[in-house]
Structures are given as structure tokens and as C-alpha cells.
Amino acid sequence: MALIQFGSSCVAQWGILRPQFAVKAYYPSRLESHQDNSISQINCLGALRSSMFSHGSLPFLSLTGNSRNTHSRRGARFTVRADTDFYSVLGVSKTATKAEIKSAYRKLARSYHPDVNKDSGAEDKFKEISNAYEILSDDEKRSLYDRYGEAGDYSNPFDLFESLFEGMGGMGGMGGGMGSRGSRSRAIDGEDEYYSLILDFKEAVFGVEKEIEISRLESCGTCNGSGAKAGTKPTKCKTCGGQGQVVASTRTPLGVFQQVMTCSQCNGTGEISKPCGACSGDGRVRRTKRISLKVPAGVDSGSRLRVRGEGNAGKRGGSSGDLFAVIEVIPDPVLKRDDTNILYTCKISYVDAILGTTLKVPTVDGVVDLKVPAGTQPSTTLVMAKKGVPVLNKSKMRGDQLVRVQVEIPKRLSKEEKKLVEELADMSKNKVANSRR
């Protein structure tokens, strides 16, 4: 197969006698198949349809075969989904800096954290916020998202065309309806699960091993994961005709927008069975499990730890999803974090600023002596090398602790203090006068 530039269109070609897909640029919801100057229109279910998708919408044709939450990895199909505006999710502009994005994420994450916000929709909102931050905080992913939208990071145009023919008898032609691999043989991978992991400041800096209790869907032992009541046989779903998918149409000013969706009656299996009483037909039951989670040094709020295979169990032999532990760090009341650096503010008297002094400064390694040189000016920043946060996945590299010095000027002086300061002022004036002679 080759992807060929043809004017303002892109053509995917498998051979002289094979069909070609020309993705037209002039209409935002049409994709046409050309062979021997004849035109036929198909949708991803193999039926004749009138609404397809343009070159402009190509990046938004999402391969659900790559998604762990929808279809099998054995046969990828594509669906069309409304593109999420991650910038709006975080409430920032498209020109926002990484620091602004991080600040917006932290603010929203604290508001919608499931341990803080008990509203029913808080957990889903927290996941949406975390997903948006994961994309926009990564320069490469953000660049792809800005160009192609939410699905642009993951879609492969060659896989897309192959997936279109997968359900119609393979790549040998348009075929007659659905191919031999119907929905009955399609395994469904399990969904990913998310766990909110709260760490204190030092745990995030140095890393920690935590034992956590997670809740996930595991295969039902009563029906062995089939979802069917013992002794019964499944029948073809009447809603989707056994395909496991339905087409939802929405009329817009640009035409009719069609979206392929999982059938809600059979949950994408294409079959209806008398449900198992233990799992209500899902084939899975929710159980809790305790696992040990090793958190590396240098994580921060918004960091995600992935534990493969610890998500929800798959259906019909599908792989289990993954567990994502989303990190939330409790701020330290004294030490502030700025990436791998730690910020600390101390106050000294004007006398100590003039004469110099030694301070006891708190760090993540304990209290350390810091020498303040004589003549230190207000707002001077002193650097304590390698007293900051270890670089994530490079624990031998550390940031610095930056100490900002604030010089306190007393509002009131005793008579003796005032007299001494006046004498000092006179000496300073005489010194300046002598220097001008």
C-alpha cells in the first residue's frame, strides 16, 4: 500500500485493480472510493452510506483498535469523535506557557480531586484534567495535538485504510458486507483504571514505596467471564444486527455527521444472553486488591505512574487494562518547589546584612549552615548547590536550593541604636566628602 499525493487530495493505493481512497478537500464530511471511474460510498460497517470524511478531518479519524477502552487489538476499526479542546479543559489560551499550564492544572486538580470533591462527576473531571495536562505538558504531544487535535497523536493513516477493509473480507476488494471475522470473535480489552496517590513533599522528592488498595473489574468466576447464565445460549443482537456497532447521525450546518458507536444493548459483543446473576451479564465483577507501588524520586503533582495489567479485566480473552496512579503532592509550608529547584526565603537584620552572618537553613536533607557574606543586598539569592529535587529517572542529578535573603529594617529604634546609626551616617557622609576632594 502507498499513500500518494494527488493534487489537494491524498490517495491510498494497494494495486492497479484494488480500490483507491481519495480524501477530498472540498467538502468537510465526504470520503469517496474510486475504481474504474465509478464511485461508491461506504462506512466503516461496510454498508452504503452518503456521509464520509474529508482530508481536513482525517486526523480526527481515531483508530479504536489502539484504544484499550473500546475494541479489540485483533481488528482495528475507526470511529469519528468530537475533538476535545484540552486548552479549554485547563482554562488556558493556546499560547500558554508550560508554567501557566502547570499552574492551571494544579488549581483544577485540587478542586476536582476525588479525595476532596465528593461530587459524582468529580472523578471523571479529574481524569479529563489529568489527560489534558499530560498532552499539553509534553512538547512533542502538544505539537501533534495543535496540528491534528486529540486523535492526531495516535492515528496512523496506513492503519486507518487497512482497518476500513478489515471488516469487509480483507484487502482484496470491497467485499460484500462484513467479513468473516464478526463481532462474536472479537476480544475486548479491559479499561484503564485510575488511582489518586497523595504524597507529602519529601516522599515526592526522594521517592517512596507505597502499598495501596485498588478496585478493579476481574473475571467473573460464576460464568467464567462469558456474562451468560449457565445453560443458556446467546442470540444475535437485534439492535445492531450482530455487528456490535451502530451509527448515530447528527445534522449540522455542514451536513449530516455520522458517528460509529458501540451498541448499548449488547455492549459491542453483537450477542444478547441471559445475564449471569453474579456479574449481571458483564462477565466481570469488582474486587479490591492490594499492590506495592514504587514511586521514583522527583515526581510532582500531575505525574502518572503506569502499572501494566492492573486495570480492568478484558472480555472474551481481551488483555487487561493498565492502572495509572495520578500523583498529587501536598505542598510544604516552608519549602517551595520550582521544577527541580527548591525555593526558601529567609530574613536577616540590617546589621547582619552589613557584617555578614551564618544561618541555619532547613532543606530536604535536614538543617544546613549557610554563610551570608558581608554586604549582602536585599533580595539577594544565595545558591545551595545540589540541595534541590532529584531529576526524575536520573536520581544522581539534583537541582539546587535557592535562598532569597530579605533584609529587615526596624520601624523603631532605641535611643542608643538611633545614636549609633546617626554616627554611622555622619561617618558615611564624611567618607563621601573626602572622596570628592
Residue 242: pLDDT band with limits 50, 70, 90: confident
> Cell numbers of 256, please?
449530516
**Domain presence at residue 277:** no
CA distance 85 to 149: 8
Of 227 and 169, the one with more pLDDT: 227
Domain boundary among 126, 148, 170: 148
CA distance 344 to 335: 5
Domain that holds residue 412: 337-436
Reply yes or no on whether the pLDDT at 65 is more than 60: no
**Domain presence at residue 98:** yes
Reply yes or no on whether the pLDDT at 56 is more than 60: no
Mean pLDDT value across residues 248-261: 77
The pLDDT of residue 146 is 80
Of 403 and 274, the one with more pLDDT: 403
Rg (CA), the chain: 31
Identify the CATH number of the domain in which residue 113 sits: 1.10.287.110
**Domain presence at residue 218:** no
Domain boundary among 102, 124, 148: 148
Q: What's the CA angle centered on 339, arms 333 and 344, to 5 degrees?
A: 40
Q: CA 267 from chain center: how many Å?
A: 26
Distances in Å between the Cα of 250 and the Cα atoms of 255, 264, 282 are: 8, 18, 30
Task: Report the range of poorest mean pLDDT among 2-16, 83-97, 346-360.
Answer: 2-16
Residue 264: pLDDT band with limits 50, 70, 90: confident
Reply yes or no on whether the pLDDT at 3 is more than 70: no
Average pLDDT, the chain: 75
Mean pLDDT value across residues 132-146: 86
**Domain presence at residue 233:** no
CA distance 86 to 80: 18
- H helices within 241-280, ranges in order? none
Distances in Å between the Cα of 48 and the Cα atoms of 77, 172, 178 are: 16, 18, 12
Beta-carbon count within 10 A of 206 CB: 16
Reply yes or no on whether the pLDDT at 366 is more than 60: yes
The pLDDT of residue 253 is 67
**Domain presence at residue 262:** no
> Cell numbers of 310, please?
492492573
Domain boundary among 98, 116, 148: 148
Most confident listed range (129-143, 377-391, 408-422): 377-391
State the DSSP string of 395-410: EEEE--EEEEEEEEPP
The pLDDT of residue 185 is 47
Strand-pair partners of 342: 337, 401
Mean pLDDT value across residues 317-331: 94
Nearest to 50 by CA among 42, 62, 38, 58: 42
Reply yes or no on whether the pLDDT at 261 is more than 80: yes
Task: Report the range of poorest mean pLDDT among 132-146, 177-191, 210-224, 272-286.
Answer: 177-191
Residue 158: pLDDT band with limits 50, 70, 90: very low
The pLDDT of residue 164 is 41
Residue 113: pLDDT band with limits 50, 70, 90: confident
Lookup result for grid cell 507505597 = 210
**Domain presence at residue 258:** no
The pLDDT of residue 97 is 92
Q: CA 419 from chain center: how many Å?
A: 64
**Domain presence at residue 189:** no
The pLDDT of residue 70 is 39
Mean pLDDT value across residues 147-151: 58
The pLDDT of residue 16 is 35
Reply yes or no on whether the pLDDT at 94 is more than 70: yes
47 DSSP assignment: S
The pLDDT of residue 148 is 62
Strand-pair partners of 218: 285
Distances in Å between the Cα of 411 and the Cα atoms of 393, 417, 426 are: 49, 12, 20
**Total number of domains constituting the chain:** 2
The pLDDT of residue 290 is 96
The pLDDT of residue 115 is 78
Instruction: Give percent of the chain with pLDDT exceeding 90.
Output: 38
The pLDDT of residue 143 is 84
Q: CA 175 from chain center: how many Å?
A: 39
Amino acid, single-letter form, for residue 353? A
Reply yes or no on whether the pLDDT at 20 is more than 50: no
Most confident listed range (27-31, 106-110, 150-154, 217-221): 217-221
Direct distance between the N- and C-terminal alpha carbons of the chain, in angstroms, rounded to an integer: 90
The pLDDT of residue 436 is 66
Identify the CATH number of the domain in which residue 373 sits: 2.60.260.20
The pLDDT of residue 433 is 66
**Domain presence at residue 158:** no
Reply yes or no on whether the pLDDT at 418 is more than 50: yes
Beta-carbon count within 10 A of 152 CB: 18
Most confident listed range (40-44, 206-210, 431-435): 206-210
Of 18 and 353, the one with more pLDDT: 353
The pTM for the full model equals 0.53
